[in-house]
Amino acid sequence: MYRSSVIKILAPWFLLFAFTACGPMSLTDGSNDLAGGGIGGTGISVGRINSASSTSADVNGVVFDITNATVTVDGVTGNQNNLKKGMIVKVDGKFNPDRTAGSAAKIEFKDILEGPVSSVDAAANSIMVLGQTIIVDSTTYFDDFNDPDGNGTVDLTEFMTDLAAGNVVEVSGFVDANGIIYASYISLKSGSFEIELKGTISALNEISGTFKIGGLTVEFSQDSTEFEHMTIDDLKDGLYVEVKSAAGLSGDRLSASKIELEDRGYHFKDNDEFEIEGYVTAVSLSEDRFELSGHTVQIISTTRYKDGTIVSIADITVNMKLEAEGIVDANGVLIADKIDFESGDNDSDHDSEDEDGENDPS
């Protein structure tokens, strides 16, 4: 029997993390939870750790001083050494004017899921965990796996060779509009472990007491399932929840011991700086807006484009991987100063400085 699992959404940052396979939230629903005020230079960065040490972490090309930061990993406050390359994190702190560096006050990591591998497809570089398809590539960071050649880094071939059905893994990564997870970090778990899954409810059947998250059927009941920040009557399609299970999997069904309502929105102050990377899940050409990892991004006349692939909103399509940065307005919308196109599934080859060749539509 599996130990009780915790499933926390990368508190809407993710979304990294945000299982949007069942449909993205409205581009204009105004569901973000906001607070007034704001101080220039402060803000939030949501993205992959490109490198980390006990004193600094590079997130989205910004090197943050983390010496005095409060670091929380899966709900447990620890130390700076718990941060690993590839983890998708949320950083609260201050940005330097050139946005190449900053200082972090808080860093939080929450995985997308943790559970047993049901199948491995080496040809497609994919695995199935809790009914979710997970894609790995050469940029995925593999933690706690065997390193046969002893070079200190587990590569994709070693990972696919070492992994087997039944292994328990913890996954962090980006989710596209189809609910496919592009893993940036995978850790092999041993001993007791937690089953955890975050996602959007679909195919709710109140009579049978089931709903789906991706390809997984979740079973619930008034008697055996605890509900947090919600009641059983609040369940509906499109709701973003965290599910944990003490009973574990039975085939393609998961018996939920706890279901918790998760907040989709980010918590900002007006005029906070914000940068985020992920997959586009919806585009509104008429409004010059798109949805990126669960957050609304507004294109304006002065928005700059780092890569020639994109020169206007018309070039932005669903499942394109982007990084956006700018200022959050009073409605929680990211007013984009710059948009970076990322060509690889887990591409981290970007920086925060302006480069020759940027396109300025103004």
Residue range 142-175, pLDDT digits in tens: 999 988 888 888 999 999 989 999 999 999 999 9
**What pLDDT does 8 receive?**
36
Would you state the structure tokens that stand for residue 294, as one six-digit string? 């669960």
More confident residue, 285 or 264: 285
Confidence of residue 236 (pLDDT cuts 50, 70, 90): very high
pTM for the predicted model, two decimal places: 0.82
What average pLDDT does the segment 92-117 reach? 92
Mean pLDDT computed over every residue of the chain: 83
| Six token digits for residue 212 | 């789906």
Instruction: Supply the DSSP string of 161-184, one letter for each residue.
Output: HH--TT-EEEEEEEE-TTS-EEEE
Task: State yes or no: pLDDT of 26 exceeds 80.
Answer: no
What is the Cα–Cα distance from 169 to 69, expressed in whole angstroms? Answer: 27
> If you average pLDDT over residues 211-239, what whole number do you get?
95
Alpha-carbon span 225 to 216, nearest angstrom: 17
- Given a cut of 90, whether residue 190 has pLDDT beyond it is no
Q: How far is CA 288 from CA 31, 291, 312, in A?
A: 19, 11, 9
What pLDDT was estimated at residue 266? Answer: 64
Whole-number Å distance between alpha carbons of 276 and 145: 29
> pLDDT tens digits for 118-151?
999 999 999 999 999 999 999 999 999 988 888 8
* Residues paired with 240 in a beta bridge: 200
Report angle CA 345, 347, 349 to the nearest 5 degrees: 165
Reading the block at residue 93, the tokens are 């702190």
Predicted local distance difference test score (pLDDT) of residue 34: 29
Please give the pLDDT value at position 193: 79
CB 178 within 8 A of CB 280: no
Residue type at position 55: T
Please report the pLDDT score of residue 186 as a whole number.
Answer: 97
pLDDT above 90 covers a percentage of the chain that reads: 63
Cα separation, 12 vs 32, whole angstroms: 10
* 297-345: pLDDT as tens digits: 999 999 999 877 899 999 999 999 999 999 999 888 999 999 999 865 4
**Confidence at 265, pLDDT banded by 50, 70, 90:** low
